[in-house]
Amino acid sequence: MRRRLTGGPAGGRTGGRTGGLTRRLPEAWRQPLAIVGGVVAFAWIVIALAAPVLAPHDPLAQELPRLAPPGPGHWFGTDQLGRDILSRVLYGARVSIPLTLLLVVLSVLIGGLLGACAGYFGRWVDETIMRLADLVFAFPTIILAMVVAAALGASLGNAVIAVLIVAWPAYARVTRGLVLGIREREFVLSGRLLGFSAWRSLRVDVLPNVTGPVLVLATLDIGTALLLLSGLSFLGLGAKPPSPEWGAMVASGVEVFDSWWVATFPGLAILTVVLAFNFLGDTLRDALDPRTARAIKERAI
């Protein structure tokens, strides 16, 4: 009888293997919002990579009836120049998503490095970097980004620079606070007593222990960065026609407000990406926080 229970059919073994994989997945990542966020984010990344294959029309071709409502042949409708909105939304993912991810990565690298130096070395280094960050924080984010983008000139590259200038201080402040709480810990002091240089101690002992919270902030900030980039394009300070960028597409839809589909579908694209990465950021925060992860596990049980 025992042999029969342990040596069941192949389907039982497969189910056990699948159950083992599920059990190895942290509880936080099994929550509905985590699954939805992961699926939506993965879908948009695939769309950005495969847009030339998925798009039914050339996003720049003016070959369809103007302001045609959604229907067969143009499922998202057409804009005022006869361009297929579905194709433009798909190609817009190749513009908005990579630039947003690049912007967040650069913000993490610049702000994280400056904040780590400020927290670890202190004194005039800390004062200089933090006063510069306070200067940026003194202005409303979108207003400062608009001023910088207007000064540099209206283009998508300059919009990225403008958002980068207003985004890095948040990472610098968070990283500085984390480093201040770690630099006097025993393992950091032990490394210094063993002869580690300041830079090696910062790289080996300090930075790996502040990566988690900064990564959570970066994941949550992807949605904010996308909204800022789209907002600058909406105001005419980012992407210029005929680039299929979501913010610029929403702006063109405002000009023909009675044709609701022109602005609705690129707006929904922005909405879904922002929600997906916010869900992933919340899940990552729960997974990295032992107390929150334990509460989720107890709730699941």
With cut-offs at 50, 70 and 90, classify the pLDDT of residue 9.
very low
Q: Supply the pLDDT for residue 294.
A: 53
The partner residues of 74 in beta bridges, in order of sequence, read 71
Residue 101's CB is within 10 A of a number of other CB atoms, namely 17
Q: Supply the pLDDT for residue 48.
A: 94
With cut-offs at 50, 70 and 90, classify the pLDDT of residue 31.
confident
Q: Supply the pLDDT for residue 299.
A: 46
Asked whether 247 and 141 are in contact (CB, 8 A), the reply is no
With cut-offs at 50, 70 and 90, classify the pLDDT of residue 26.
low
All structural domains of the chain = 31-300 (1.10.3720.10)
Q: Supply the pLDDT for residue 180.
A: 83
CA–CA separation, 273 vs 115, rounded Å?
28
CA–CA separation, 215 vs 194, rounded Å?
30
Q: Which amino acid is at 47?
A: I
72 has pLDDT over 70: yes
pTM for this entry? 0.84
- DSSP structural state of residue 204: I
Flag the least confident range among 9-13, 149-153, 156-160, 245-249: 9-13
Q: Among residues of the chain, what percentage have pLDDT more than 70?
A: 83
pLDDT digits (tens, 9 = 90+) for 199-257: 777 777 777 788 888 888 899 899 999 999 999 999 989 888 888 999 999 999 988 88
Asked whether 76 and 265 are in contact (CB, 8 A), the reply is yes
Residue 16's CB is within 10 A of a number of other CB atoms, namely 11
With cut-offs at 50, 70 and 90, classify the pLDDT of residue 182.
confident
With cut-offs at 50, 70 and 90, classify the pLDDT of residue 195.
low
Q: Which residue has the higher pLDDT, 22 or 48?
A: 48
Flag the least confident range among 56-65, 153-162, 256-265, 286-295: 286-295
With cut-offs at 50, 70 and 90, classify the pLDDT of residue 24.
low
Q: Supply the pLDDT for residue 172.
A: 92
128 has pLDDT over 70: yes
Instruction: Report CA Rg, the chain.
Output: 24
